[in-house]
Amino acid sequence: MDLLVDLFNDYTLRTVALGAALLGISSGALGGFALLRRQSLLGDAISHAALPGIALAFLLTGSKSPLVLVLGAGVVGWFGSVLIAALTRRTPITYDTSLGILLSVFFGFGLVLLTFIQRMPNANQAGLDSFLFGQAAALMQRDIMVIVGIGSVVLLITVLFWKEFKLISFDPDVAQTLGFPVRALEHLLTALLVAAIVIGLQTVGVVLMSAMIIAPAAAARQWTDRLGVMIVLAAIIGAVSGVGGAVSSSLVPNLPTGPIIVVVASIIVLISLLFALRRGFVFRKVREWKSGRALRVDAVLVDLYTLASQHETAGYPHSERVLNVMSTMSGTARRTLKLLETLELARPIDAERWALTSEGEERARRVIDRQFGGRS
C-alpha cells in the first residue's frame, strides 16, 4: 500500500514509473511483431549494437544529453540491423550466424570504447556505464521526455500502419503482389523496433533490453489468437514489467533495474506458458487426459456392447477379464469400468461381471455409428 501511495506522491517515482510504462508499452507492442516475424533475436542484436553508438555519440559531442545518446544508439543500432540483413542476403552466412557475429562484434567494440571513455581525464563521463545494466533511479525528467516523445511516435505509427504491418507479417509475398512496398514497410517496422529499443537502454540496459522485446510478446501470444489483442496484451505486460522493475530499483539503493524487469517479465512468461487457457501446458495436459479418458470409456462401452449383442439383451453381463483381453485401448479395464459406473453407463453384476445400463447401451450405439458410419 505504501508503495502505491509513494507512487502517487513522490514526483521522481512517478516520473520513473511513467517512463518505464511507456517504454514497456512500445517495446511490448513492437516485440509482438518481431515475434510473429520470427525476429525476436533481432532485438537482442540491435540493443547490443547500440552500445558503441552511445559511446561514439558521447565521444563526438562530449554531451550526455539523452537525446544525443539515444540518437547515437539509434543510428548505430539501425546500421547493425541493416548489416545483418545485408550479411544474410549477400553472403552464404545464415541469419542466426549473422545475428551472433554482429551482436558480439558491436558489443565488444562498445565495451572497448566505454573503457576508453572511463580512462579519460575529465569527470563528465560518469554514469555512462549504467547503460550496461540500466539504472532507473538515475532517470531525470529530460530522459523521460525523450522516452515519452519517441515512444508516442512509435505507437502512433504502429497504429497508422496496422493493416500493412499485419499483412507483411503474415504473407509478405502476397503483400507485394497487392502493390505494397514490402521492403520499405519492413525497414519501417525495423526502424520502429530500433526506436523502441533505444529509449529503453538507459532504464533496462543493453544487456537485457532484448527481454523487454521477447518476453511480453511471448507471454501475450499464449493467451489469445487475435493479433490486436496480442499486441495490446504484450504492451500491458511490458508496462507492468517495466514499472515493477523501475519502481523497485528506485526504492532499493544499488538495485539494478534491468535484471529486476527481466525477473518480473520472466515470471509473467512462466505463468503464461503454464496456465494460459488454450495454449498453456497445464490445460493442454488436462484436455489430453480428458480426451484420452473419453476414448477409453468409449472403447470399453463398445466392447461391452459387442459382447452383449451376441446375446438376446444388450444388458447381458460380461467378465472384466474378457474386456481386458478384447481391447488394447482399454488397457486395464477396471479403472475405466469404475468410471463407467460413476457415469451410470455400466453396473457391476457381481465381483467379476459387468453389464451396460440402458444409457450405456444408447451411448455405445452412438459411438459405433460415429466410428463405423452406421454400418453395424
> For binding to other proteins (CB under 8 A), which residues are involved?
36, 38, 160-164, 166-167, 169-171, 173-180, 221, 224-227, 229-230
Q: Which is nearer to other proteins, 82 or 229 (CB)?
A: 229
- What count of Cα atoms within 13 Å lies in the side-chain half-sphere of residue 326? 18
As measured in angstroms, the least distance from the Cβ of 174 to other proteins is 6
Residue closest to 27 by CA, chosen among 269, 237, 276, 273: 237
Cell numbers for 105, please give them: 562484434
Q: Quote the CA–CA distance of 29 and 15 in Å, as a whole number.
A: 21
As measured in angstroms, the least distance from the Cβ of 75 to other proteins is 27
Q: Which is nearer to other proteins, 140 or 229 (CB)?
A: 229
Q: Which is nearer to other proteins, 153 or 174 (CB)?
A: 174
As measured in angstroms, the least distance from the Cβ of 169 to other proteins is 7
- Nearby residues of 152 by Cβ (< 8 Å), 6 or more positions away: 22
| Beta strands per DSSP E along 285-352 | 318-319, 346-348
Q: Which is nearer to other proteins, 39 or 130 (CB)?
A: 39
As measured in angstroms, the least distance from the Cβ of 175 to other proteins is 8
Instruction: Confirm if 319 and 353 have CB atoms less than 8 A apart.
Output: yes
Q: Quote the CA–CA distance of 71 and 60 in Å, as a whole number.
A: 12
Crossing angle of helices 2-9 and 227-251, in 10° steps, is: 90
Buried b (16+ CB within 10 A) or exposed e, 26-51: bbbbbbbbbbbbebbbbbbbbbbbbb
- What count of Cα atoms within 13 Å lies in the side-chain half-sphere of residue 76? 26
Residue closest to 219 by CA, chosen among 31, 61, 366, 53: 31
Q: Which is nearer to other proteins, 145 or 227 (CB)?
A: 227
Q: Which is nearer to other proteins, 180 or 316 (CB)?
A: 180
As measured in angstroms, the least distance from the Cβ of 225 to other proteins is 5
As measured in angstroms, the least distance from the Cβ of 234 to other proteins is 11
SS3 state of residue 318: strand
Q: Quote the CA–CA distance of 219 and 31 in Å, as a whole number.
A: 11
As measured in angstroms, the least distance from the Cβ of 224 to other proteins is 6
Q: Which is nearer to other proteins, 177 or 342 (CB)?
A: 177
